[in-house]
Structure 1
Amino acid sequence: MGDEFDEVLTRTAEIAVDWLDGLDRRPVGETVTLAELRERLGLPLPDEPVHPLTVIEELARAAEPGLVAIPSGRYFGFVIGGGLPAAVAADWLTTVWDQNAGLYACGPAASVAEEVAGEWLRDLFGFPAGSSYAFVPGCQTAHLTCLAAARHAMLRRAGWNVEEDGLAGAPRLRIVVSARRHATIDRALRLLGFGTSTLTVVPADGPGRMDVAALREVLADRVPAIVCAQAGEVNTGAFDDLTAIADLTEAAGAWLHIDGAFGLWVLASPALRHLAAGAERADSWALDAHKWLNVPYDSGIAFCAHPEPHRAAVSVTADYLVQGGEGDPRDPIDWTPGFSRRARGFPVYAALRSLGRRGLADLVQRCCAHARTFAEGLAGLRGCEVIGEVVINQVLFRFGDDATTDRVLRHVVDSGEAWLSGTTAGGRRAIRLSVCNWRTGEEDVRRTLAAFRQAVDASGTPPSRAGPPPSGRLPR
């Protein structure tokens, strides 16, 4: 059995290294159709065992054309990061070690790695001492965790125990969200029993910042409320005025939750943390490590300034579980909705230790600098309109009408030089470019701009009527 493992893991490492070494040469997008993928992978289930080495080699060969080069420095879609070398290696070890990170008893090292990484992050972000944390699959589950804690705390203040009595007959809670919130907020609230028709929606301005004056009116009657603010709007990267919102929520006795999936990472940068000023005053925060920390999927983190409602909302006990013990170990199951779970703390620990404070700050600032370079380069292309200012790492732009914008985007993606996604902004089609990968360098920016230049030439894009675009410089 040992020899079999040696052979298959050694070969798997070779395949993995070949994949990473080829990122600059291969197309960023897939090179196969859905029908072809189904044919390549859709083999009959064999009656007899197949040697593991055969399985892995044939899987890699069949899947490779259908892989998107997300780790590439020219993947700019969906605010997705790559994988730092230390984080990828730690993730491999996580799989090999195969620890069930639900209980300390099942994985003592996994539990302590989460504990250390959580405390490093809490200190890095400047969150209150004693804030609790949970390592979860992604920001969606981080919202679920944080908002479950908020629901518990706000209903408990009203004399209601939601874990025992449910929501039927519970006191009224006002759930306040921005018109430009991320879809994961609605989904988390729906799973917690708050239907979308019950939400109070606050208007947002052009870049997507919550209207503070409108929020003041919403909170004026002091109905118990949970307010969801945002650090980093998904299209523009804009930040809500978190200081003003914190002032209002504190005065109203409301719970403030911040969706900071990628935006809260600016707190790691001395040059950019002013954008999230006031974030430390929130009651809970949700973010992704598989974005700007460049940890492999999946990896999200929930923080809560109030450990008691956090634990009460998601913890579980059973007679057969081995919880607690000498030295008061941290059982992750007390803080996450997951029961059996992957040891996500190892890759986060490895990423943070490999970067250090300076390295993480440099990573964030470098991505933002590349975004500004992109905005300046795109602004020089015929017919291109850069929409708004570049706040952090998001660039939003379009070419003429909707059809032209989509045609230029399709041309770039089909070229294989870069991968980006379309979106809708102000009721019109646009292209969203997100710089979030540690691999992205000046050559990746040059190649991508050249691909757009070729796409514009190929599409016969007319000159823009929008006037000169903004410089894309970060606000000071």
Structure 2
Amino acid sequence: MASDDTSAISGRSLQRGDARASDWRYDCLDDAARLARRYLDGLRDRPVRAKAGLGELRAVLARPLTDDGEEPSVIVESLARDVDPGLVASGGPRYFGFVIGGAVPAAVAADWLVSAWDQNGGGFVASPALSVVEEVAAGWVRELLGVPASSGVGFVTGGQMANFTCLAAARHAVLRDASWDVEAHGLHGAPRVRVLAGEYAHVTVGVACRLLGLGQLLDVVPADGQGRMRADALRGALANGADTPTIVCAQAGEINTGAFDPFVDIARTCREHRAWLHIDGAFGLWAAASPRRRPLLAGAEQANSWATDGHKWLNVPYDCGIAIVADPPAHRAAMTSTQAYVPAHADDVPYGFDWTPEFSRRARGVTVYAALRQLGRHGLADLVDRCCDHAQLIAGRLAAEPGIEILNDVVLNQVLVRFGDDDALTNTVIERVQRDGVCWLAGSTFRGQSVMRISVVGWQTTPADAHRSADAIITAARTANG
């Protein structure tokens, strides 16, 4: 913290227009960089769990709001100190919960620059440079994921809004083909849009449908034992709804098992019935970056839209989702905003709000740009492969232990574990591992049973971390089993 009185800039001095206010940049930003570096350098060794509970955090953070404000350096120092006990080391090498990745260094640094530049990523006129950065990043994403080069790409908050954006484009297209303009006339009086999704579709697909006025009660297509949509069941379901505007939601990377729907058969069936095929691939779509895992996505390139996250396997900071639509006119029609004060622009001029629900937004694509420049094609492929290999290593270690069962085929980065074929024991082991703090993983329910879900997506995880985590899980299981 600065001791020189000339750099003590409070809210009162800013209100006065004090000339010294510019000095805050050289104090609190340097402090933030120092404190952030200290946190990041300690990620490997700190317990993964949070050390403070709700009451403790409220007691230290819920301070009275002052009348005159405080010095920025004081705020940054105390914020870092007070928040630290309540942080979960989700960016570290042994966090395996909720498919949350870390953040590669170039993306973290780029994110700081995005905040410093403070640009509206909504359109070229507001930020020419960052609009072009996002345009380049979108092109790289299309190439790496193997989707059509002409697809529209929007950088949104996460998988929820990526699904929303893609399904909004789908809604436009299927109703357009039924001679209904949903943007002009709404849904009242429109033909019913039928939405089919697999038995284990992610909750964000249903929420997106609800927000779009399509209803959350989707037509459910049965899945197999790994959570994959059954193509034969989809075929039968579509045959029963001829001439109805239809959207099919498939999945790349089931949230529990990591399984992939049979896209070749699903895409063929959707074409036969003129149904829009959307693929929710929050983390699974990044398998396309790996030559070893790319066959899991065979046929996915034939879909009409795809949703994924950057803040999962690409390892950029929160938040970053990516919505991709193969039909740019449908994408733009569902999303674009027009106002008298917004300049008219040609289709090839990058305007972010043509592709996202937000008129004003952070330039999220900058972190994607930075991460992909750091990783390159080979680095991204290696990141995907390493995480999958670590998942298989953990699964192998656990499967060799009596009383521990691996429930899924570990085809990607997800490991589904059950202990003693018992719900209570499984939940007890999860709680013990979380409390121990060597690693952190979450519980879930799959096919009516309690399970431990291990998700490996962090760039820092090593084989040693995988072994150490497996040891911690085995120890917790032995202790819980008496």
- For normalisation by structure 2, the TM-score amounts to 0.94
SS across alignment from 1:317: coil
Tell me, yes or no, if the aligned pair for 1:242 and 1:277 is still in contact at 8 Å. yes
* Paired amino acid for 1:211: R
Matches within 5 A, 1:121-140: 121-140=141-160
Tell me, yes or no, if the aligned pair for 1:382 and 1:456 is still in contact at 8 Å. no
1:426 matched to 2:447: yes
Name 1:116's counterpart in structure 2: 136
Name 1:5's counterpart in structure 2: 25
Matches within 5 A, 1:5-404: 5-197=25-217, 199-220=218-239, 221-222=241-242, 223-324=244-345, 328-400=348-420, 401-404=422-425
Name 1:405's counterpart in structure 2: 426
Tell me, yes or no, if the aligned pair for 2:133 and 2:369 is still in contact at 8 Å. yes
Over aligned residues, Cα RMSD in angstroms?
1.2
**Off by >6 Å, runs of 4+ in structure 1:** none
Tell me, yes or no, if the aligned pair for 2:193 and 2:214 is still in contact at 8 Å. no
Q: Percent identity?
A: 54
How big is the shift at 1:340? 0.8
1:443 matched to 2:464: yes
* Paired amino acid for 2:126: C
For 1:286 and 1:96, the matched residues in 2 are separated by: 29
Name 2:18's counterpart in structure 1: none
How big is the shift at 1:406? 1.0
Alpha-carbon displacement from aligned partner over 1:186-232 (angstroms, at most 9, x marks no partner): 000000001123x2111111110111111111111422210000010
For 1:279 and 1:115, the matched residues in 2 are separated by: 23
Alpha-carbon displacement from aligned partner over 1:416-471 (angstroms, at most 9, x marks no partner): 1111000011211110000000000012112211211221232125xxxxxxxxxx
1:416 matched to 2:437: yes
* Paired amino acid for 1:329: V
Tell me, yes or no, if the aligned pair for 2:223 and 2:230 is still in contact at 8 Å. yes
Alpha-carbon displacement from aligned partner over 1:251-305 (angstroms, at most 9, x marks no partner): 1111000001100101111111000100100000000011110000000101111
SS across alignment from 1:175: strand
Alpha-carbon displacement from aligned partner over 1:400-422 (angstroms, at most 9, x marks no partner): 11111111111111111111000
For 2:184 and 2:356, the matched residues in 1 are separated by: 19
For 1:369 and 1:74, the matched residues in 2 are separated by: 14
* Paired amino acid for 2:223: A
How big is the shift at 1:328? 4.8
SS across alignment from 2:81: helix
SS across alignment from 2:70: coil
Alpha-carbon displacement from aligned partner over 1:285-338 (angstroms, at most 9, x marks no partner): 00001111000000010111100011001111011123427x952111111101
For 2:438 and 2:117, the matched residues in 1 are separated by: 37
For 1:458 and 1:219, the matched residues in 2 are separated by: 51
Could you list the runs of 5+ residues in structure 2 that have no partner in the other structure? 1-20
Aligned residues between the structures = 459
* Paired amino acid for 2:325: C
- For normalisation by structure 1, the TM-score amounts to 0.95
How big is the shift at 1:391? 1.1
For 1:389 and 1:330, the matched residues in 2 are separated by: 42
SS across alignment from 1:17: helix
Comparing 279-288 with 440-449, greater Cα deviation is found at: 440-449
How big is the shift at 1:39? 0.3
For 1:9 and 1:158, the matched residues in 2 are separated by: 55
Tell me, yes or no, if the aligned pair for 1:323 and 1:331 is still in contact at 8 Å. no
SS across alignment from 1:58: helix
Name 1:460's counterpart in structure 2: 481
How big is the shift at 1:381? 2.4
How big is the shift at 1:45? 0.8
* Paired amino acid for 2:278: H
* Paired amino acid for 1:457: R
Tell me, yes or no, if the aligned pair for 2:155 and 2:322 is still in contact at 8 Å. yes
Tell me, yes or no, if the aligned pair for 1:103 and 1:323 is still in contact at 8 Å. no
* Paired amino acid for 1:23: L
For 1:126 and 1:460, the matched residues in 2 are separated by: 47
For 2:80 and 2:402, the matched residues in 1 are separated by: 41
* Paired amino acid for 1:61: R
SS across alignment from 1:196: coil
For 1:209 and 1:185, the matched residues in 2 are separated by: 16
* Paired amino acid for 1:181: A
* Paired amino acid for 1:262: F
Alpha-carbon displacement from aligned partner over 1:12-63 (angstroms, at most 9, x marks no partner): 1110011011112211011011011000100011122210000111111111
